[in-house]
């Protein structure tokens, strides 16, 4: 029996394909990239048109050996790696190593379903050289920046540090935000809320002060606030106007990589890395389309499928006359051709066989709802705004306002009705010139707040807006800057470490163009042009590297060494008795050292106290330890007498704290 060999990246994807392809096909997995640049050296021949020196990945030798062996006995070899630049590069490397009489062919599909795969099998093609070139260009560019700048950081900042082209720009964003927060000066301001009731039925409403004598209400001190409060308590309240308008809320487009990561971060507090891992499992199980995409496009088949489902499930009232189309906001939408959507739409299926189980079901339902809602009619609300006039004799005149909405037609929000019930009562029925009785005046003293630090969601949104990175890079960027200890997460938001500040200041101070937002975005555009066959990657590399190399020489010669600031613990060094204990950051995270290092070599483990009593012994604070081989965990500071420990952060118990 003549067989066809199909080569993919992962065992899960191989198993999914095997379920419906039958005995005529063998499916083997490479386990990822089989060739890469060497770790021990630059691996780029700068003098020979930037030729990369690829080596076989040592961990993949068994997979390569197996694929070579299997490929000898088949009459056709098809490469079915993922439909993006990384997948295309893997495909090219497979073509180079496969030992078969039949020259390997390339097949591409954006969802792992029987129809999609069968269609791809009917039209095999060749590896796309432009996508391969774009992947090589990114890899070479990042290698040149990383391997040339890292030794410079060792000399000018500290040994063991490393630089990344896009990662450093991301750290720059976080550092700039932190300095904006540090420079922020809080201002006092007051808001006034007045509880009223209408006379006929005694129904209540709360209005907010918006104007004083036809000017915007701006109150910045307690004295003025006290005078206004006194006036509002004596005022006569009358309805000035009642305005009603129709508010149309259109559905959001289906997910892209960026918006999916943002939603999972906001709703489930997932990291971008976790979201992409769960999405990868869903894709490889054939449950969703390819998850690395910045396009809102949907196939004609999927539109027919979802419109049929909406009509059957919810009726014609919820189905627009024509499909909803969305314009992609990304500067250059590339790689995958569809938005992220379920491959079937009959109902939200229970996810089976993935290692993430409940998390996979959560993300699948999120994707399913977003896709179905995107093709439904808008939600329509009636919004009522009540303006209230308050007068105190012939002196100050105050204007107050309250707005409320009632659902006229739920539209796409029918899918989210259990998620968005706010339980608010509708506004009372009033008309112009109705008098209202005062219940209470509530003045509230407030202070302006500094800008919020970046969360994963807001950071990805900013990167996308600036054109920095692409769908496949968001998660690796955010993961890398944390692994390198340039930033840390505090209460779900990113804060630069002292090392992050120092590295950023050195790189931005000496290489402002290379790590500028505009330049980085332009490099991404150049890579997109190469992927579309509009440019040569060697020319791009030459234009970048020649001035970069000159700058490297100049900085190495003239730049001053940057010192990393340390944070004091508040204790004296127990060894030399003179220096202070300080927190330093090494390759493996934080540790305690002496401020007189290297004259004093005192060193101790760093533990982070979270200010909660142990739920077992109620004696010591719960601390974060870093001694596990797997990851950080929470344990009692009274260890080893108390062995309470948990991977999850404990919930504060008021009875034991």
The answer to whether residue 290 is catalytic is yes
Tokens 């010669």 belong to 557
SS3 assignment, position 19: helix
d(CA 492, CA 455): 6
450-460 as b/e: b if 16+ CB within 10 A? eeebbbbbbbb
pLDDT value of residue 630: 52
Q: Which domains, from first to last, does the chain contain? A: 4-127 (3.40.50.140), 143-184+453-558 (1.10.460.10), 188-246+387-447 (2.70.20.10), 257-374 (1.10.290.10), 566-606 (no CATH), 607-657 (no CATH)
Given a contact cutoff of 8 angstroms between Cβ atoms, the answer to whether 379 and 407 are in contact is yes
Gyration radius of the chain's alpha carbons: 31
Largest Cα separation within the chain, whole Å, is 100
d(CA 303, CA 309): 10
d(CA 108, CA 414): 36
Strands 76-79 and 105-106: parallel
Burial class (CB in 10 A: 0-12, 13-18, 19+), 331: middle
Backbone torsions φ then ψ of 56, nearest 5 degrees: -65, 140
Alpha-carbon distances, residue 648 vs 117, 624, 633 (angstroms): 41, 10, 7
pLDDT value of residue 43: 95
pLDDT value of residue 570: 81
d(CA 157, CA 505): 10
Considering only CA atoms, which of 133, 201, 366, 193 is closest in space to residue 268?
Answer: 366
Burial class (CB in 10 A: 0-12, 13-18, 19+), 631: exposed
pLDDT value of residue 491: 83
Token reading at 379: 């939600």
Out of 283, 290, 364, 545, which one is annotated catalytic? 290
pLDDT value of residue 363: 95
Q: What is the pLDDT of residues 342-393, one digit of tens each?
A: 999 987 667 776 777 889 999 999 999 999 999 999 999 999 999 999 998 7
Given a contact cutoff of 8 angstroms between Cβ atoms, the answer to whether 656 and 618 are in contact is yes
d(CA 395, CA 393): 6
d(CA 644, CA 110): 47
Ranges of residues in the chain whose predicted pLDDT is under 50: 332-336, 423, 629, 653-657
Q: DSSP letters along 606-625, please?
A: --EEEEEE-TTTSSSEEEEE
Token reading at 515: 């790590």
- Give 451-494 as a 3 state SS string: CCCCCHHHHHHHHHHHCCCCCCCHHHHHHHHHHCCCEEEECCEE
Q: DSSP letters along 309-331, please?
A: HHHHHH-GGGS-SS-------SS
Cβ contacts of 605 within 8 Å, gap of 6 or more: 591, 592, 625, 626, 627
SS3 assignment, position 56: strand
H/E segment holding residue 299: none
Given a contact cutoff of 8 angstroms between Cβ atoms, the answer to whether 602 and 623 are in contact is no
Cβ contacts of 120 within 8 Å, gap of 6 or more: 80, 107, 108, 109
pLDDT value of residue 657: 36
Alpha-carbon distances, residue 121 vs 49, 102, 512, 621 (angstroms): 37, 16, 49, 61
Given a contact cutoff of 8 angstroms between Cβ atoms, the answer to whether 239 and 430 are in contact is yes
d(CA 553, CA 557): 6
């Amino acid at each position: 029996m003549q067989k066809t060999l199909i080569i993919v990246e992962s065992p899960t994807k191989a198993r999914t394909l095997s379920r419906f392809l039958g005995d005529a096909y063998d499916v083997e997995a490479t386990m990822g990239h089989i060739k890469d640049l060497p770790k021990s050296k630059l691996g780029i021949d700068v003098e020979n048109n930037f030729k990369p020196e690829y080596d076989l990945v040592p961990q993949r030798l068994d997979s390569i050996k197996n694929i070579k062996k299997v490929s000898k006995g088949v009459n056709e070899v098809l490469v079915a790696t993922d439909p993006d630049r990384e997948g295309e590069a893997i495909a090219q490397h497979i073509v180079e190593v496969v030992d078969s009489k039949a020259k390997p062919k390339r097949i591409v599909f954006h969802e792992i379903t029987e129809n999609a795969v069968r269609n791809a099998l009917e039209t095999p093609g060749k590896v796309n050289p432009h996508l391969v070139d774009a992947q090589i260009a990114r890899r070479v560019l990042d290698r040149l920046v990383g391997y040339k700048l890292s030794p410079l950081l060792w000399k000018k900042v500290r040994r063991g540090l490393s630089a990344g082209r896009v990662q450093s720009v991301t750290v720059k964003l976080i550092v700039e935000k932190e300095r904006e927060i540090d420079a922020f000066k809080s201002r006092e301001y007051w808001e006034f809320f007045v509880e009223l009731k209408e006379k006929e039925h005694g129904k209540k409403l709360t209005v907010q002060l918006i104007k004083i004598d036809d000017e915007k209400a701006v109150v910045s001190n307690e004295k003025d606030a006290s005078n206004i409060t006194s006036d509002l308590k004596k005022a006569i309240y009358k309805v000035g106007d009642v305005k009603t308008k129709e508010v149309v809320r259109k559905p959001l487009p289906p997910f892209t990589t960026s918006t999916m990561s943002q939603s999972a971060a906001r709703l489930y507090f997932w990291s971008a890395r976790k979201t992409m891992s769960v999405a990868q499992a869903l894709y490889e199980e054939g449950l969703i389309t390819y998850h690395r995409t910045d396009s809102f496009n949907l196939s004609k088949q999927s539109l027919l499928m979802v419109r049929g489902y909406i009509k059957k499930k919810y009726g014609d009232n919820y189905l627009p006359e024509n499909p909803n189309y969305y314009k992609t906001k990304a500067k250059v939408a590339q790689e995958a051709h569809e938005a992220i959507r379920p491959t079937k739409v009959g109902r939200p299926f229970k996810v089976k066989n993935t290692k993430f189980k409940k998390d996979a079901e959560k993300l699948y339902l999120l994707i399913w709802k977003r896709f179905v809602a995107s093709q439904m009619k808008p939600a329509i609300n009636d919004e009522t705004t009540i303006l209230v006039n308050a007068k105190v004799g012939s002196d100050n005149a105050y204007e107050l306002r309250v707005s409320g909405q009632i659902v006229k037609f739920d539209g796409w929000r029918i899918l989210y009705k259990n998620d968005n019930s706010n339980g608010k009562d509708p506004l009372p029925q009033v008309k112009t010139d109705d008098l209202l009785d005062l219940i209470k005046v509530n003045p509230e003293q407030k202070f302006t707040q500094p800008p919020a630090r970046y969360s994963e969601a807001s950071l990805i949104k900013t990167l996308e807006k600036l054109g920095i990175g692409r769908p496949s890079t968001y998660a690796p960027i955010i993961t890398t800057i944390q692994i390198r200890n340039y930033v840390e997460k505090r209460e779900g938001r990113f804060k630069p470490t002292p090392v992050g500040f120092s590295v950023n200041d050195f790189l931005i101070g000496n290489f402002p163009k290379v790590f500028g937002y505009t330049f980085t975005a332009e490099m991404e555009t150049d890579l997109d042009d190469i992927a579309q066959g509009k440019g040569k990657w060697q020319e791009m590399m030459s234009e970048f590297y020649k001035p970069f190399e000159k700058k490297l020489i100049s900085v190495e010669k003239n730049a001053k060494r940057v010192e990393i600031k340390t944070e004091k613990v508040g204790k004296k060094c127990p060894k030399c008795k003179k220096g202070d204990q300080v927190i330093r950051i090494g390759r493996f995270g934080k540790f305690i050292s002496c401020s007189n290092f290297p004259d004093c070599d005192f060193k101790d483990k760093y533990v982070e106290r979270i200010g909660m009593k142990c739920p077992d012994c109620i004696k010591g604070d719960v601390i974060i330890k870093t001694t596990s081989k797997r990851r950080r965990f929470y344990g009692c500071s009274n260890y080893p007498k108390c062995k309470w420990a948990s991977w999850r952060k404990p919930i504060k118990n008021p009875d034991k704290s």
